[in-house]
Amino acid sequence: MALLEQHTLAELPELVARLEQAFAALPEFAGSAPGLERMPRVLDEVAGRLGDNFPYFHPLYAGQMLKPPHPVARAAYALATWINPNNHALDGGRASSAMEKEAVAAIAGMIGWKEHLGHLTGGGTMANLEALWAAGRLAPGKTILASEQAHYTHERISGVLRLPFEKVAVDARGRMDLDALETRAGAGDVGCVVATLGTTGAGAIDPLPGILQLRNRFGFRVHVDSAYGGYFTLADNLGADARAAFDAMAQADSVVIDPHKHGLQPYGCGCVLFRDPAVGALYQHDSPYTYFSSRELHLGEISLECSRAGASAVALWATQRLLPLLPGGEFANGLSACRRAALAFTEMLTKDARFVVPFPPELDIVVWAPRARSASAASALSQRIFDEAARRHLHLALIHLPVSFFASAWPDLVVDRPDIVCLRSVLMKPEHEHWIDEIWRRLSDATPQ
Ligand X SMILES: Cc1ncc(COP(=O)(O)O)c(C=O)c1O
Residues contributing to the site for ligand X (CB under 6 A): 65, 123-125, 128, 151, 153, 196, 198, 200, 225, 227-228, 258, 270
Q: How far is the CB of 67 from ligand X (least distance, A)?
A: 13
Q: Which CB contacts under 8 angstroms, 24+ apart, belong to 437-445?
A: 438/59, 438/60, 439/59, 439/60, 439/62, 439/345, 439/394, 440/345, 440/348, 442/60, 442/389, 442/392, 442/393, 442/394, 443/385, 443/389, 443/394, 443/396, 444/352, 445/388, 445/392
d(CA 269, CA 103): 12
In terms of CB distance, is 121 or 379 closer to ligand X?
121
d(CA 143, CA 265): 33
d(CA 234, CA 336): 8
Exposure letters 314-325 (e unless 16+ CB within 10 A, then b): bbbbbbbeebeb
In terms of CB distance, is 97 or 153 closer to ligand X?
153
d(CA 160, CA 272): 18
Q: How far is the CB of 199 from ligand X (least distance, A)?
A: 6
In terms of CB distance, is 78 or 255 closer to ligand X?
255
In the complex, which residue's CB is closest to ligand X?
Answer: 124
In terms of CB distance, is 72 or 202 closer to ligand X?
202
Q: How far is the CB of 150 from ligand X (least distance, A)?
A: 7
In terms of CB distance, is 204 or 299 closer to ligand X?
204
Q: How far is the CB of 223 from ligand X (least distance, A)?
A: 11
In terms of CB distance, is 257 or 385 closer to ligand X?
257
Q: How far is the CB of 207 from ligand X (least distance, A)?
A: 16
Residue 174, classed as helix, strand or coil, is coil
Q: How far is the CB of 196 from ligand X (least distance, A)?
A: 5
Radius of gyration of the chain (CA): 23
Q: How far is the CB of 151 from ligand X (least distance, A)?
A: 4
In terms of CB distance, is 196 or 319 closer to ligand X?
196
In terms of CB distance, is 134 or 443 closer to ligand X?
134
CA dihedral of residues 396, 127, 175, 407 (deg, nearest 10): 30
3-state helix, strand, coil split of the chain in percent (to 5) is 45, 15, 40
Q: How far is the CB of 80 from ligand X (least distance, A)?
A: 20
